[in-house]
Structure 1
Amino acid sequence: MTLVLLPDTITLDPRLPDGVRTAQYDVHQPIPEQWRDAEVLVAWGNPTDRLAEAARNLHGLRWVQSLAAGPDAVLAAGFDPQVQVTSGRGLHDGPVAEHTLALVLALARRLPDAVRAGQRRQWSTDLGGLQPIPGSDGAGFTSLCGARVLIWGFGSIAARLAPALTLLGAQVAGIASTAGERAGYPVVTAAEAMDLLPRTDVLIDILPATAATRRIIDDGVLRRLPAHAVFVNVGRGSTVDEGALVHALQDGRLAGAALDVTAVEPLPADSPLWDLPNLLLTPHAAGGRPVGADTLLSDNIAAFHRGEPLRNQVRR
């Protein structure tokens, strides 16, 4: 009888083939002794120390299903290389796309400035009244209409986000490891993107945390953006050189930024990011809602039981 361990951080009810049973475990406690022969572990919201503990104690484990789009925490936990790892790719496309669009629009419409003015009970004529036409001299980035948006990490989330940006008038392109066309949008490599950055109004980061992406958004990248551009990160905080970003915002070399993720989470109280008036922060709120998790689990558990390839394989 195959045992699948389900986390208590989310209500799950996958379809199970004959010969498979489930048990719900507390992600904040050690896996009970009677369940340590489990072959499958589903991870969602597990603390890093408990994941590492599971890697040491679950000696019969054959597969870990992460419900996160980026399974970096599972990959870093120390599971045996023979243990398959699958991700929650696709489960977060809608929520993350919505949150990203909200952040971009908030920067375009200067909503953080409006909130601060409202807290001062100040009716700001700079924010309202007559405004420059989008795209005209001196307008900066104030609208998606005609804006040039570059998405670094053009995967399934970007494929969900891009049509919404297009509907509002943006010109969208992507950056990925290989060039071509994805979901109907042009995609270039990182090297080719260096020529696009000076003509970019919005740079969106949806990159996973890997050795290759660590601090890939560095001072060189930020300096190539025009001063009116904005930067949005809904990928991973490790992909950004935060010191370079702070300096770019402080020096006026970048008009604004919105971060849903930071290099250290929770963000320390003494971080200079808190004090930047042109930076909008949300507390890793873009995801957190794995839509369709039961369907993914049902499909993958059935495939695992039959000895067939799994969806969203990260490590075989």
Structure 2
Amino acid sequence: MKILVPDVPFDLDFPSRLPDGGASFGPGGTDTVVAYAMNEPVPQEHTDADVLVTWASPPKIVADAASRLTGVRWVQTLSAGPDVALQAGFGPDVVISSGQSLHDDTVAEHALALILATVRRIDVSLAAQREHRWAKEIALAQADPATDQEYTLDGARVTIWGFGSIALRLAPLLTALGAEVTGIASREGERAGYPVVGADRLEEQLARTDLLVSLLPALPSTHHILDARRLSLLPPSARFVNVGRGATVDEAALEEALRSGRIAGAALDVTETEPLPSGSPLWDVPNLIITPHVAGGRPRRAAAFLADQLTRWRAGGTPLNVVGR
């Protein structure tokens, strides 16, 4: 079995973590691990690979692999979201699994940073700092009784849209700061003590949301799911944070909502086109914070994860995080 892994700047020495200590890998074994340049097409001599591991490769590179690696049986992406692999064109018999759990801590941390930055108006302070100006307007706004709930998470009604493993890491952090957390997912119920409403109650939930956090993946069913109509359901004092995927948001509608004051603010780590073009109007939208898709960082504990996944695969089992197609 030939396994292609990206030449990434982090530890992927997973063979030594396998039950046999990696004895089946290498010249004397039956399995071979080959590193490939993740920003370049897979070399022709390795198009006979059985397994492809991807991480941050451009979509066109993954699509090229899908067309040329005709014998590949399993694609393991180290990204939390498998959208690039799903859209690449691999055959329906190819198993695709995501890197869910590898980014839970860093995405939760970045989400919390963006949440606090927009709630505490750090963007306004930074803009004033560049102007060498003391931003008294923030203190004056906080002193207004009408804005009592707008500058704090204590008592805030936070809705997390896409209540998976990252949400389960983020929700307790918000709870510790006094927020009331509710999830939205495909199925309603209770997860780790948090109420989760289904899609049939989405609009009702948006109407009672002070802070909306999106962790949604990019799928045909989620394309521009946050549109002008749903944005209009949020209270005018509401804020929106997206650390999921940019394609889930109608950016023109979000721009209009922010410029018109229909919502109070937003923070985006992801945009529909990345990198965000220099001419995009989003750069100059008021009350909007933008970070360059850095919430996930590099996958953490990737070697141990891959070792476990390969152990399952070699034993004829099903890997974790297999994506429905």
TM-score norm. by structure 2 comes to 0.93
Give the paired residue count: 313
Q: Which whole-Å CA distance do the structure 1 matches of 2:74 and 2:267 have between them?
A: 36
**1:1-316 pair list within 5 angstroms:** 2-11=1-10, 12-15=12-15, 16=18, 17=22, 18=24, 19-128=30-139, 131-132=142-143, 136-139=145-148, 141-315=150-324
3-state secondary structure, aligned to 2:148: coil
Q: Which amino acid in 2 is paired with 1:299?
A: D
- Contact kept? 2:239, 2:266, Cα under 8 Å: yes
- Give 1:30 shift: 2.2
Give the unaligned 5+ runs of structure 1: none
Judged with a 3 Å threshold, the aligned counterparts in structure 2 of structure 1 residues 132 and 82 are, in CA distance, closer, same or farther, namely same
- Contact kept? 1:66, 1:87, Cα under 8 Å: yes
Render the CA deviation track for 1:216-241: whole Å, top value 9, x for unaligned: 11111111111111000111111111
Render the CA deviation track for 1:243-289: whole Å, top value 9, x for unaligned: 11111101111100001111111111221111112100001111122
Name the structure 1 match of 2:27: none
- Contact kept? 1:148, 1:199, Cα under 8 Å: yes
- Give 1:129 shift: 7.0
CA RMSD of aligned residues (A): 1.5
- Contact kept? 1:96, 1:234, Cα under 8 Å: yes
Render the CA deviation track for 1:87-134: whole Å, top value 9, x for unaligned: 00011100000000000000111100000111111112222379338x
Once superposed, which parts of structure 1, at least 4 consecutive aligned residues long, lie more than 4 Å away? none
TM-score norm. by structure 1 comes to 0.95
Identity of aligned residues (%): 51
Q: Which amino acid in 1 is paired with 2:286?
A: P
Q: Higher helix fraction: Structure 1 or Structure 2?
A: 2
- Contact kept? 1:64, 1:84, Cα under 8 Å: yes
- Contact kept? 2:149, 2:156, Cα under 8 Å: no
Give the unaligned 5+ runs of structure 2: 25-29
Q: Which amino acid in 2 is paired with 1:75?
A: L
